[in-house]
Chains A and B, each alone.
Chain A
Amino acid sequence: MKRRNFLQYLASSGLLAFVNSEGVQAAFAPSIRYLRPPGSHDEKKFLSKCIRCGKCGETCPNRTIKFFSTENGISSLDTPYIIPREQACILCMKCGEVCPTGAIPKIEYKAEPIMEKVKMGMARVDTNLCLSYQGKTCGVCYRACPLQDVAIKVGRLEQPHVLEKCVGCGLCERSCIQIPQAIRVIPKYQG
């Protein structure tokens, strides 16, 4: 092979490999279950607004916010995300206050605006796993929820029922005593 041909071959196959790589593919189909900080717009709008400054993470008092490397595709590189089982959002609304770009909108730290504007996802109980549905009374998730009886209520044997108003903060998922967790937040972009 001539040197030039070889270089061309190398460059084009490199490009092809790049376009077909997991990273680029994943840019269009999220592969991990994660949440965006509270109040964030839908994925597309969020990605187009966030400049990846990291201020939201640097402000979060609960160390909830993490940042993507390449695992969620290149358009998600260095954007903030939350894995509720590891650390859930306490709805302090400080990240929105500090975000310069409007990617995380400002929301007043009061119950009504939070309930109205925050929708990170919605919790879902897996009744096959949940202890309360297996004859043991638990109810830990209910007690962890900042919006008790509004977002989640418990019935017989402390069996949790998630309601429409759930904001998806993930504090229930974080606190579930079952392993793996019996209650999970289904992100907005998947639901």
Chain B
Amino acid sequence: MKSFLRHLNKLRWLSLSIVFSMLIILPFIHLYQTYEAAHAYDLLTPTEKTISDTVEALTSPFVKDPDELSAVKGNTWSGTLFGLKLSDPLAVLGQIFASMSFYWAFIVTALIPVVITLLFGRVYCGWICPATFIYELNDNLAAWLRKAGLPVSRRKLDRRIKYIVLVVGLLLSVYFGAVMFGSVYPPAIIGREIYYAIALGGFGAGAVFFLLTLFFDLMVTRRGFCRYVCPGGALYSLLGRYRLFRIKRDVATCNDCAKCNVVCQFGLDPLQDDFGMECNNCSACIAVCPTDALSFTVSTHDVAFQGPGHLGHKYRKAHPDVNTSETSVQ
């Protein structure tokens, strides 16, 4: 069981990569479909021909009619997966406020994501969000910059800022009578901008905003946008407050190495048993723990601080009589 949990982080990267590459593949499929619909292969430019040929070669083993490729459409903001329509809960909430009405056919499309968030907390942030894919790479860049001696700041801001962003966003949606989140919400921006760039030949205004968030993460604080600003992250934090599945430290096997704290991009404190509403169950800390002290548990609350790890210096100094060697995992 433990050894399986250690590989969850790789599985998570697989998931992130699949989502991100789908966002790139789908616009090409759309282009191919439009070429087919126009019955004008001979009129295509050489680049368009290459796109058409490539997509055809890749998809023809699976579908007979290019129309069938429409089974998967859209992005993480709202998409269709083999007939199942799924939408981001933030999109639904935004529409309710903008239109001041309930359009149930749309609201139900957020049901599955909401249930998943109630059970697993901010898993969307860790496992699916296409922005995470880039933000985590950006964080690696920050680590390199730091090694190269460049100043990379790690300030602590107030976690509640993002709830203000959420509320202000909802109020603005009411005021303008339009869903305002789509333009400042990184996963929605990325899905859309990739489509714009591939199918419409250029990035839109959102790309600039996303670049700014990358700089924010580099200059101000690690994963700063996700931790302090993102309205979706705020909504998921609220929904996942009493999540059933959460990570827990086994104090008996912890050796106080603090690797978990270092690896957590959300700046949480597994070493003090402090996961809170921000933990997105990404399992990076589980993967890095040398003694397998971290694992999942079923509970609606984090445990209170259990004290220093029993395999650590501090505990052993305080309890010289306890022989901890048999509990240590090698």
Contacts and interface: CB of A to CB of B under 8 A. Distances in A.
Interface of A: 27, 44-45, 47-55, 57-63, 66-67, 69-70, 74-78, 98, 100-102
A44 B195 CA distance: 26
A44 B98 CA distance: 10
A50 B179 contact: yes
Of the candidates A27, A47, A48, A101, the one having the most CB atoms from chain B within 10 angstroms of its own CB is A48
> Lowest 4 CB-CB distances: which A-B pairs, in order?
A61-B37, A52-B182, A48-B99, A75-B178
Interface string B66-82: 00001001110111100
Interface in B95-130: 95, 98-100, 103, 105-106, 109
18 contacts: A48-B98, A48-B179, A49-B95, A50-B178, A51-B182, A52-B192, A53-B74, A54-B74, A58-B74, A58-B195, A58-B199, A61-B37, A62-B38, A69-B204, A70-B205, A78-B183, A98-B74, A101-B95
Nearest to B176: A75
Contacts of B79: 53, 55
A49 B30 CA distance: 24
Contacts of A63: 34, 199
B37 A47 contact: no
A61 B33 contact: yes
Contacts of B80: 55, 98, 100
A47 B176 CA distance: 9
A101 B195 contact: no
A92 to B, nearest CB: 9
Given A51-B91, A66-B200, A77-B205, A58 B73 contact: yes
A49 B77 CA distance: 14
A54 B176 CA distance: 20
Contacts of A61: 33-34, 37-38
Of the candidates A44, A57, A58, the one having the most CB atoms from chain B within 10 angstroms of its own CB is A58
B99 A52 contact: no
A165 to B, nearest CB: 26
Nearest to A66: B200
Given A45-B99, A49-B99, A59-B73, A102 B106 contact: yes
B44 to A, nearest CB: 13
B103 A101 contact: yes
Given A47-B178, A51-B94, A62-B38, 12 more contacts: A48-B100, A48-B179, A52-B183, A53-B74, A53-B87, A57-B200, A58-B73, A58-B199, A63-B34, A67-B200, A74-B183, A77-B205
B196 interface: yes
A100 B74 CA distance: 10
B168 to A, nearest CB: 14
A82 B68 CA distance: 26
B77 A59 contact: no
B78 A62 contact: no
B74 A57 contact: no
B55 to A, nearest CB: 14
A54 B183 contact: no
B206 interface: yes
B205 A67 contact: no
Contacts of A47: 98, 176-178
A175 B196 CA distance: 26
B74 A55 contact: yes
B27 interface: yes
A117 B299 CA distance: 52
Interface in B258-315: none
Nearest to A98: B73
Contact of B73 (A51, A55, A62, A78): A55
B179 A100 contact: no
B98 A67 contact: no
B177 A78 contact: no
A73 to B, nearest CB: 9
Given A58-B199, A69-B205, A77-B205, A52 B179 contact: yes
